[in-house]
Homo-oligomer: A and B are copies of this chain.
């Protein structure tokens, strides 16, 4: 929909989803994905049923990962939030859909992404946190976790924290903030960085939990931040504890 002046109108969309029943964000044939659901709803809301509206996203979350504040953009007028939420399935909700500066691109223009990983740190599982937090009844040394978080801040090479088979070409990332925050039975890991490698947060959490359990030292963890091999880092924590919390723009 080009404007009379010629410049294409862009829109910015903030959405949340429960990733439990999705094969992640990115459209894949034969899979239920957030992108496919959103593009289908957008096409109907914008009355363009024959040409699905391609959407660009700030964080391509993996299968099972949740979002509180995912941001997407598309070329076109804003759609009605009420219509979108009526058209979307119950596990996706649009929080806002507003005009954006011409050429706005949710991925390219993002200054940082913030993720939160939630851990249920107690001895018994929970009926309410299943699928929403990692159940971790093992020992957790919070001081060790705090030291790991402090080591994360700054620019590092995260090669050790993403699968060896990769599409990434650059493995350095700028971590602006990282901290562990206990909230009752729930222990949250918050991290803000310019962007993230695939599975980076889950391998970070899996490796830090080894430190928290005394099976790896803080120094060993910090040593991994210099471009070591994936095999040197720890397990990949389950996706259901991870939330894309928000995206920052200029």
Contact = CB atoms under 8 A, between A and B. Distances in A.
Interface of A: 16-18, 66, 68, 81, 85, 90-96, 123-128, 130
B94 A16 contact: no
Contacts of A94: 124
Q: How many of these chains are in the complex?
A: 2
Contact of A128 (B68, B81, B123): B68
A92 B93 CA distance: 27
A18 B124 contact: no
A17 B127 contact: yes
A91 to B, nearest CB: 5
A128 B66 CA distance: 9
A16 to B, nearest CB: 5
B91 A127 contact: yes
B16 A126 contact: yes
Among A16, A18, A92, A125, the one with the most B-chain Cβ atoms within 10 Å of its Cβ is A125
Given A16-B126, A92-B127, 15 more contacts: A16-B127, A16-B128, A18-B128, A18-B130, A66-B128, A68-B128, A81-B124, A85-B124, A90-B130, A91-B130, A93-B124, A93-B126, A93-B127, A95-B124, A96-B124
